């Protein structure tokens, strides 16, 4: 039993194939997935996918790479979107100084709004951070994000950053990047993050793991991420599956079905 803690099933290349993706999840023992919101306009589509299946949930939020020239979201709006049994977290939110050049103050403001919404509805946060670890950790701390916790998704930072995030009550989620041969530093981080604090994800349709690198990613491939973690930590795939599945259901406060 494995859970894909982060994917984008509303993106056209996955949405158009949903039934086949669900069948391949089942064949590979991937029992559940969390499909992640990135825009306000796309939220209804994300929620529709989640509502269509008992083993899918979704989030509400605006991605830090999503430039909005017009209106920014508000705490009130996020609370309205999150007020739904299928919405189990706020995000993905955070900071991305790699993709966005120039003034990034709007990213930090938007990030703070998401943390305030998460605290107000007592739902955990799904955090995206890229080349912005220090500011991400600082804002999580300043805004009291430890009260709700969450997950650092698609983790690619150092062990020090992982440890600081774990101290704030966040889990560390590894994606297909950990299977890449050149990801030596990240493999080492994965060896040191305890299974009790770990999730696995695909971030599909992006970042397909080895041996599917370069293809469209899908939730069934989370199995390759879990296999690599098992290899790195010298434990069984079952141990990785059991721990990451338990962590997922605890973080997102869902009753775990009997397997
Ligand atoms: Zn992301
Ligand atoms: Zn994502």
Instruction: Give residue 248's pLDDT.
Output: 98
Distance of CA 197 from the midpoint of ligand 1 (Å) = 19
Distance of CA 258 from the midpoint of ligand 1 (Å) = 30
pLDDT per residue over 197-256, tens digit each?
999 999 999 999 999 999 999 999 999 999 999 999 999 999 999 999 999 999 999 988
Instruction: Give residue 208's pLDDT.
Output: 95
CB–CB of 213/243 below 8 Å? Answer: no
Name the closest ligand to CA 37.
2
Distance of CA 120 from the midpoint of ligand 2 (Å) = 23
Instruction: Give residue 11's pLDDT.
Output: 97
pLDDT band per the 50, 70, 90 thresholds, residue 85: very high
Distance of CA 217 from the midpoint of ligand 1 (Å) = 14
Instruction: Give residue 259's pLDDT.
Output: 60
pLDDT per residue over 57-75, tens digit each?
999 999 999 987 778 999 9
Instruction: Give residue 96's pLDDT.
Output: 95
pLDDT per residue over 94-147, tens digit each?
999 998 778 889 999 999 999 999 999 999 999 999 999 999 999 999 999 999
Instruction: Give residue 257's pLDDT.
Output: 83
DSSP codes joined into one string, 131-173: S-HHHHHHHHHHTTGGGT-EEE-S--S-HHHHHHHHHTTEEEE
In this structure, what are the phi and psi dihedrals at residue 59, rounded to the nearest 5 degrees? -125, 175
Name the closest ligand to CA 98.
1
* Class of residue 83 by CB neighbours under 10 A (exposed 0-12, middle 13-18, buried 19+): exposed
Element spanning 226, H or E: helix 222-233
Distance of CA 37 from the midpoint of ligand 1 (Å) = 10
Distance of CA 95 from the midpoint of ligand 1 (Å) = 10
Distance of CA 36 from the midpoint of ligand 2 (Å) = 6
Instruction: Give residue 50's pLDDT.
Output: 98
Distance of CA 201 from the midpoint of ligand 2 (Å) = 10
Say whether the peptide bond before residue 211 is cis (omega within 30 degrees of 0).
yes
Assign 27 to helix, strand or coil: helix
In this structure, what are the phi and psi dihedrals at residue 222, rounded to the nearest 5 degrees? -60, -20
Find the mean pLDDT for residues 176-201: 98
Instruction: Give residue 101's pLDDT.
Output: 77
Instruction: Give residue 65's pLDDT.
Output: 92
Neighbouring residues of the ion ligand 1, judged by CB less than 5 Å: 128
- CA dist., res. 7 & res. 9, Å (int): 6
Distance of CA 202 from the midpoint of ligand 1 (Å) = 11
Q: Which residue has the tokens 């290899």?
A: 231
- CA dist., res. 229 & res. 239, Å (int): 10
pLDDT band per the 50, 70, 90 thresholds, residue 258: confident
Distance of CA 50 from the midpoint of ligand 2 (Å) = 16
Query: What pTM value is reported for the model?
Result: 0.97
């Amino acid at each position: 039993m494995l859970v894909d803690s982060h994917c984008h099933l509303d993106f056209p290349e996955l949405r158009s194939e949903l039934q086949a993706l669900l069948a391949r999840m089942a064949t590979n023992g991937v029992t559940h997935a969390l499909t992640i919101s990135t825009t306000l306009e796309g939220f209804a589509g994300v929620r529709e996918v989640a509502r269509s299946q008992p083993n899918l949930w979704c989030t509400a939020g605006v991605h830090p790479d999503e430039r909005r020239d017009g209106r920014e979201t508000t705490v009130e709006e996020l609370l309205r979107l999150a007020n739904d049994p299928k919405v189990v977290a706020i995000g993905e939110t955070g900071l991305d100084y790699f993709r966005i050049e120039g003034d990034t103050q709007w990213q930090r403001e938007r990030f703070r709004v998401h943390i305030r919404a998460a605290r107000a509805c007592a739902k955990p946060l799904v955090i995206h951070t890229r080349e912005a670890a220090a500011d991400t950790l600082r804002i999580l701390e300043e805004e009291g994000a430890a009260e709700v916790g969450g997950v650092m998704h698609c983790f690619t930072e150092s062990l020090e950053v992982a440890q600081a995030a774990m101290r704030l009550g966040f889990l560390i989620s590894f994606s297909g990047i950990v299977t890449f041969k050149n990801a030596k530093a990240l493999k080492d981080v994965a060896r040191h993050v305890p299974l009790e604090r770990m999730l696995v994800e695909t971030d599909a349709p992006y970042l397909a793991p080895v041996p599917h690198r370069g293809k469209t990613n899908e939730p069934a491939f989370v199995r390759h991420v879990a296999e690599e973690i098992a290899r790195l930590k010298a434990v069984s795939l079952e141990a990785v599956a059991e721990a990451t599945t338990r962590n997922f259901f605890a973080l997102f406060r869902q009753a775990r079905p009997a397997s």
